[in-house]
């Protein structure tokens, strides 16, 4: 009974942490946009602090573990070969393939993040409208596939392979795990675990950025209805207590309590916008 209770408690905790983690990654792009605009100068939200911390921490973890991955040749498998040279070549080949896929996802994330962020700000501030190219959208979609593939590979390695090396014995009413894994193998599993974690992060962020790219290419007008006026804009930002729109270069923070509804029209608002 205690085992079941502890299992349920563990699953609940993991589920809560995972949900928060997914939310942070999903909103990461928009939150970085919000950093440019504040109605209270110098004020930082908890989510903003967490976002900045995750951004810098992810970069450091990425660099460290890529170096470790290269040095360990990225292979946890004991490749059966009497030829040591062949064994090393296969190990380096496996590491090179995974590393190339990993670098593709990372470079796509960095490049597309910079471009989409700039385009989003242009459209929000009504400076000009820039379309996201089909080539960029295709790259994002392909990088989502490689990220998910790397995540699955990492999860397969850290779940399936240890199962082959760990034995389970029953002694009286207790279960005993017999571990035959070496320290080097455990270290390699940790490396693949980090790869799976970072790849999952890439996938979630890229998935949200694909939706952002779609929104940037859409020709719609959002009409915010308040008690006294109708405010038309092509895109806006939503905060906890207000909406942010631009009008003639001025930032307008509209309280949510004053907003009756928000309509989406196929008519494209082009006042002072270069298309």
Separation of alpha carbons 221 and 249, rounded Å: 18
User: In this predicted model, what pLDDT tens digit does every residue of 129-160 receive, in sequence order?
Assistant: 788 999 999 999 999 999 998 888 888 877 77
What residues contact residue 125 under an 8 Å CB cut-off, 6+ apart? 246, 249
pLDDT of residue 21: 80
DSSP string over 191-238:
HHHHHHHHHHHHHHHHHHHHHHHHHHH---EEEEEESS-EEEES--EE
More confident residue, 1 or 217: 217
Rounded percentage of the chain residues whose pLDDT exceeds 70: 67
Separation of alpha carbons 247 and 231, rounded Å: 9
pLDDT of residue 63: 66
Could you tell me which residues are beta bridge partners of residue 251?
A: 246
Q: What is the mean pLDDT of the chain?
A: 76
116, pLDDT greater than 80: yes
pLDDT of residue 153: 84
For the ranges 6-20, 51-65, 95-109, 239-253, which has the lowest average pLDDT?
51-65
20-29, 71-80, 97-106, 207-216, range with greatest mean pLDDT: 207-216
Three-state DSSP class for residue 264: strand
What residues contact residue 188 under an 8 Å CB cut-off, 6+ apart? 72, 75, 76
pLDDT of residue 140: 94
User: In this predicted model, what pLDDT tens digit does every residue of 237-269 receive, in sequence order?
Assistant: 988 888 999 887 788 888 888 888 888 877 655
């Amino acid at each position: 009974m205690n085992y079941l209770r502890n299992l349920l408690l563990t699953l609940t905790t993991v589920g809560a942490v995972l949900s928060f983690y997914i939310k942070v990654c999903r909103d990461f792009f928009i939150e970085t946009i919000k950093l440019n605009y504040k109605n209270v100068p110098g004020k930082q939200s908890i989510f903003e602090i967490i976002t900045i911390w995750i951004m810098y921490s992810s970069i450091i973890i990425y660099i460290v573990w890529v170096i470790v991955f290269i040095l360990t040749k990225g292979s946890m498998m004991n490749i059966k070969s009497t030829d040591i040279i062949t064994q090393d070549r296969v190990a380096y080949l496996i590491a090179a393939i995974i590393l190339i896929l990993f670098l593709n996802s990372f470079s796509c994330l960095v490049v597309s993040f910079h471009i989409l962020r700039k385009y989003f700000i242009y459209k929000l501030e009504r400076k000009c409208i820039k379309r996201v190219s089909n080539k960029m959208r295709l790259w994002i979609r392909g990088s989502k596939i490689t990220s998910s593939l790397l995540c699955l590979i990492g999860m397969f390695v850290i779940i399936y392979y240890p199962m082959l090396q760990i034995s389970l014995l029953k002694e009286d009413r207790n279960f005993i795990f017999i571990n035959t894994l070496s320290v080097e193998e455990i270290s390699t599993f940790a490396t693949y675990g980090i790869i799976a974690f970072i790849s999952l992060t890439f996938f979630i962020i890229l998935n949200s950025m694909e939706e952002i790219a779609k929104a940037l290419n859409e020709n719609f007008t959002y009409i915010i209805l308040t008690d006294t006026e109708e405010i038309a804009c092509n895109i806006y930002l939503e905060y906890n207590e207000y909406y942010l729109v631009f009008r003639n270069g001025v930032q307008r923070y509209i309280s949510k309590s004053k907003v009756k509804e928000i309509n989406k029209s196929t008519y494209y608002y082009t006042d002072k916008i270069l298309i």
